[in-house]
Amino acid sequence: MPYVGIRSVSARNSHSFKWQKLKNMDTIKSEPTNSSFRNAIIFCIAGCGTSIFFVLFIYQVVVAKLSVNWPQTNATILSSRVDRGIAKSHSLYFPKIVYEYTIEGRGFTSERLNFGDPWGGKEAEAEKVREKYPVGSSVLIHYSQQNPSEAVIMPGVITDDLFNETIFSAFGAIIWFCISIYFLKIHRRRK
């Protein structure tokens, strides 16, 4: 009969080596390794993190839909500019509109243009948005009654932004979850 060597780790972290007789070579079972369990834990944590982002994006979609029915008030534009960001080999431009408004005698400031603020685009597109909201002008905004500090100029879901972010984060959460389950199953089989 063939023999196979099995390495084991004792409680004192000393390594020993045993020979066992095997009747069938297909039934080789190794002892659980710390690396497979560690990988499973790492992927579970990463999957949880991705799932949190997914939940936050879903929350943004829900709030964006609710914002259409929020009460409205007038706001004054304090600042209107275009910020430039760099992504790999090209520049992205973001409109940055800061406005102030008053609810029940309390003043608030916000810079939320919409939910799912764009990741950036062409300079001409950002300039067009900036020109639409010049400094000192009045604009109608929507604000949350439960949290008046939360306001938006363009309520509702901006389909391109939120839809893509939600699909991306859901896909990532599913992949991380599947990989985590795979590593946990490998770990259990080795026990």
State the pLDDT at residue 5: 46
State the pLDDT at residue 65: 86
State the pLDDT at residue 58: 76
State the pLDDT at residue 148: 95
**What are the tokens at 79?**
């600042």
Kindly give the parts of the chain with pLDDT less than 50: 1-6, 9-21, 26-28, 31-32
Put residue 71 in one of left, alpha, beta given phi > 0 → left and psi -120 to 50 → alpha: beta
State the pLDDT at residue 145: 94
State the pLDDT at residue 164: 62
Where b means 16+ CB within 10 Å and e means fewer, 75-95 reads bebeebebeeeeeeeeebbbb
State the pLDDT at residue 162: 54
State the pLDDT at residue 106: 96
Model pLDDT for residues 46-87, shown as the tens digit of each residue: 767 777 777 777 787 788 889 999 999 999 999 999 998 877
